[in-house]
């Protein structure tokens, strides 16, 4: 579509080449500045305007010379398909990483629930054994008090001197058994504390994973904003090319 712009004949005859070259320089500078802002590197064929045009001069009745430019050749609009590759590739990588993180999170949740069940079972066993230990200790103390106080054989009621040594040996044996039980309970308590430490480590790992996931989401949002800015910059560049 040709436009009729009133231009004085003197200006056209004197500076036809300088005006066209300045327009080319201004358009190229604007495109380069927009490409630097969007941080995108791509190649395109620069369409230059010839320095000399054949203008058909037409004078209206008022004496003003009208410029009738030639029809410009149709220009192909640059497509932005080649520049959507990196963004789609990065989005695919982010989706894969997100799927891996979700699978790892599910595994950790399963392990954590299994560990919690183990800890609950061990705590129940610990409470049960602690109660049995207290009962055994009470019984042992009662038996020892009876043996020391009466110094008699409760079964036979005779041979007190002979049975005293036997009772003493039994008492020592019972004490040894009680000491062994105490050692087992202590080792059990250590195992419970180790399991608790493992559970705490799993919880810390879960917190770290949640923090990494939040950081990943923030990076993804920032990347989406950058992609939108790149698309806006490409649209501006296409607009500038169309306006040329």
49-64 pLDDT tens trace: 445 444 444 444 444 4
Q: What are the DSSP calls for 52-83, one per residue?
A: ----EEEE-TTS-EEEEPPPPPPPPPPP-GGG
Instruction: Clarify whether residues 50 and 145 are in a common domain.
Output: no
Task: Give pLDDT, residue 62.
Answer: 45
Domain range enclosing 68: 5-76
Which residues in the chain land under pLDDT 50? 1-25, 27, 38-50, 52-69, 80-83
Instruction: Clarify whether residues 217 and 157 are in a common domain.
Output: yes
Instruction: Clarify whether residues 171 and 108 are in a common domain.
Output: yes
Instruction: Clarify whether residues 157 and 192 are in a common domain.
Output: yes
pTM over 0.75: no
Instruction: Clarify whether residues 117 and 70 are in a common domain.
Output: no
Of 76, 106, 132, the domain-final residue: 76
Q: How many domains does the chain have?
A: 2
Instruction: Clarify whether residues 20 and 110 are in a common domain.
Output: no
Give Cα separations from 136 to 14, 15, 155, 243 (angstroms). 119, 115, 21, 97
pLDDT tens track for 136-183: 999 988 877 776 676 665 555 555 666 667 778 888 898 999 899 998
Task: Give pLDDT, residue 127.
Answer: 92
The whole-angstrom separation of Cα 203 and Cα 222 is 29
Task: Give pLDDT, residue 88.
Answer: 85
Q: Which residue has the tokens 């090319």?
A: 241
Instruction: Clarify whether residues 120 and 45 are in a common domain.
Output: no
Instruction: Clarify whether residues 179 and 67 are in a common domain.
Output: no
Task: Give pLDDT, residue 124.
Answer: 92
DSSP three-state, residue 5:
strand
Instruction: Clarify whether residues 237 and 217 are in a common domain.
Output: yes
Instruction: Clarify whether residues 226 and 163 are in a common domain.
Output: yes
Instruction: Clarify whether residues 100 and 189 are in a common domain.
Output: yes
Instruction: Clarify whether residues 194 and 97 are in a common domain.
Output: yes
Of 59, 76, 93, the domain-final residue: 76
């Amino acid at each position: 579509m040709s436009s009729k712009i009133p231009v004085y004949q003197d200006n056209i005859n004197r500076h036809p080449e300088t005006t066209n070259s300045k327009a080319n320089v201004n358009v190229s500078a604007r495109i380069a500045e927009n490409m630097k802002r969007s941080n995108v590197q791509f190649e395109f064929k620069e369409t230059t305007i010839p320095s000399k045009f054949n203008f058909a001069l037409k004078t209206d009745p008022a004496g003003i010379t009208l410029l009738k430019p030639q029809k410009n050749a149709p220009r192909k609009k640059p497509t932005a398909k080649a520049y959507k590759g990196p963004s789609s590739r990065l989005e695919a990588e982010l989706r894969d990483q997100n799927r891996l993180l979700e699978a790892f999170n599910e595994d950790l949740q399963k392990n954590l629930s299994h560990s919690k069940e183990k800890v609950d079972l061990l705590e129940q066993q610990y409470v049960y054994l602690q109660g049995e230990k207290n009962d055994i200790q009470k019984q042992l103390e009662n038996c020892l008090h009876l043996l020391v106080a009466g110094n008699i054989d409760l079964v036979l009621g005779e041979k007190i001197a002979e049975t005293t040594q036997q009772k003493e040996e039994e008492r020592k044996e019972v004490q040894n058994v009680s000491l062994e039980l105490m050692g087992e309970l202590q080792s059990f308590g250590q195992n419970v504390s180790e399991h608790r430490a493992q559970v705490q480590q799993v919880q810390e790992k879960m917190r770290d994973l949640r923090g990494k996931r939040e950081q990943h989401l923030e990076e993804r949002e920032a990347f989406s904003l950058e992609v939108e800015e790149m698309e806006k910059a490409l649209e501006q560049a296409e607009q500038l090319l169309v306006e040329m």
